[in-house]
Amino acid sequence: MEKELVCINCPLGCRLKVRVEGEEAKEITGNLCKRGIEYAKQESILPMRVLTANMKAADCERPFSVVSSKPLPKNMLIECAMELKKHSPKTPIKMGDVVIENILNTGCDIIATSNLPEESL
């Protein structure tokens, strides 16, 4: 099977062609540098994405923003986003706080990217 991708590692956006056999990227063309090869291998076999979302605290109406500590498998993003809804930490929440450790055993933490001062409903 042949896949076409656009490398997102730099603004040049090389158009990559990848020949995939089973679970292996066999032939990669269109890249202007080595980073394109690594990107094509990862993206064609197991695409990864950073999760960004908003969460609700237990004791505050306003949401706060979160990000995953590293990219997650793209096919787990919806499941992880649903998991966020099951958690509602208490305020205060500070930027950089780990609000969920090792979400769904991915080895990835969910980290607050905004502050939410202590507040009661």
Q: Which positions touch ligand SF4 (CB under 6 A)? A: 7, 9-10, 12-14, 31-33, 35-36
Helix, strand, or coil (residue 70):
coil
Residue type, 50: V
The CB-of-71 to ligand SF4 minimum distance in angstroms stands at 17
Which of 39, 64 has the CB closer to ligand SF4? Answer: 39
Dihedral sign for Cα 77, 79, 80, 82, please: positive
Which of 40, 55 has the CB closer to ligand SF4? Answer: 40
| Cβ proximity of 87 and 58 under 8 Å | no
The CB-of-18 to ligand SF4 minimum distance in angstroms stands at 12
